[in-house]
Copies of this chain bind each other. A is one copy, B any other.
């Protein structure tokens, strides 16, 4: 009733002892508080990890004045063609009204343009400008190293595994 993890639990890969100390002392985690009541929740772990990675992002990207969503949009535009706002909304899981203001902001910076489609006059095709592509490339180069410190606690194999597992969760139908 109070044990972690609902599903049947095979062997822990490691840290089993640290998670379930036998002695009376509660595990002094971050801030001296026993966090075991929370760390059976994937959502808690992802939100902590996400916060950490957002800090890494802004530390490395503040020079380019790019927020995470803006970076994502530039990256998607640089590797896709005929991108409509609808598609961006789906790919980024962002409500349409929010995307509009983000795109307008990037457009006013001269990084992209909106071109009304001829096949379907309701659609806008979003495209990078020359300057937008330059910034996208620069940002991509930075992105290759910005998570290095956070990832340094994992081996290369663990990193790949983590990506695959998260992809399954995130993509999950």
Contact = CB atoms under 8 A, between A and B. Distances in A.
Interface stretch (A104-112, A115-123, A127-135, A141-149): A141-149
Q: Chain A: interface secondary structure?
A: helix
A45 B150 CA distance: 14
A148 B37 contact: no
Q: Which of A2, A41, A150 has the most CB of B within 10 A?
A: A41
A21 interface: no
Contact of A45 (B9, B47, B151, B166): B166
A161 B160 contact: no
A163 B35 CA distance: 14
Interface residues of A, number: 86
A76 B46 contact: no
A157 B39 CA distance: 16
Interface in A27-82: 29-54, 56-57, 68, 72, 75-76, 78-80
A88 interface: yes
Given A50-B47, A80-B26, A150 B169 contact: yes
Contacts of A41: 143, 147
